[in-house]
């Protein structure tokens, strides 16, 4: 980065915008946690928000948006594919039980506790 005052101001303005976007992303994350949605949709929403925030950090604060190295792009692509695989494995194992009602062994424990006198 050259040392001209105008370029420094430009970079600082960009960093402030990204910091503001990350703050808004944090607020959206908190608000999304109050949504009454299924687990799979909740995980999907959380991953979309987290990926957006992580890409902002990687592109601007880590300056990866300015990199043009082929090996860097290949390693980032492989990392993204491996991460996606790791995120989908629990969802695939969970999908085996969709629609099957399972009763927990202590599911009526609170009813038994209410019926007893202490």
Q: How far apart are CA 91 and CA 109, in angstroms?
A: 29
Spans of all domains in the chain: 5-115
Helices (H) and strands (E) in the chain, counts: 4, 0
How many of the other CB atoms lie within 10 Å of CB of 94? 12
Q: Yes or no: say if 28 and 49 are a contact pair by the CB < 8 Å rule.
A: yes
Per-residue pLDDT, 27: 95
26/6 Cα distance (integer angstroms): 30
* 54 has pLDDT over 80: yes
Judge whether residue 16 has pLDDT over 60: yes
Q: How confident is the model at residue 20 (pLDDT cuts 50, 70, 90)?
A: very high
pLDDT digits (tens, 9 = 90+) for 104-116: 677 676 666 666 5
Summarize pLDDT for 81-106 with one digit per residue, the tens. Answer: 998 999 888 877 776 666 677 776 77
Distance CA 82, CA 45 (A): 20
């Amino acid at each position: 980065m050259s040392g001209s005052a105008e370029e420094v101001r430009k970079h600082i303005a960009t960093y402030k915008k990204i910091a503001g976007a990350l703050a808004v992303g944090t607020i959206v994350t908190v608000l999304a946690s109050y949504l009454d949605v299924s687990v799979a949709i909740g995980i999907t929403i959380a991953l979309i928000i987290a990926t957006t925030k992580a890409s902002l950090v990687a592109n601007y604060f880590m300056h990866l948006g300015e990199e043009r190295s082929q090996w860097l792009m290949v390693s980032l692509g492989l990392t993204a594919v491996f991460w996606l695989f790791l995120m989908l494995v629990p969802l695939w194992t969970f999908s085996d039980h969709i629609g099957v009602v399972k009763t927990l062994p202590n599911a009526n424990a609170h009813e038994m506790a209410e019926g007893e006198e202490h």
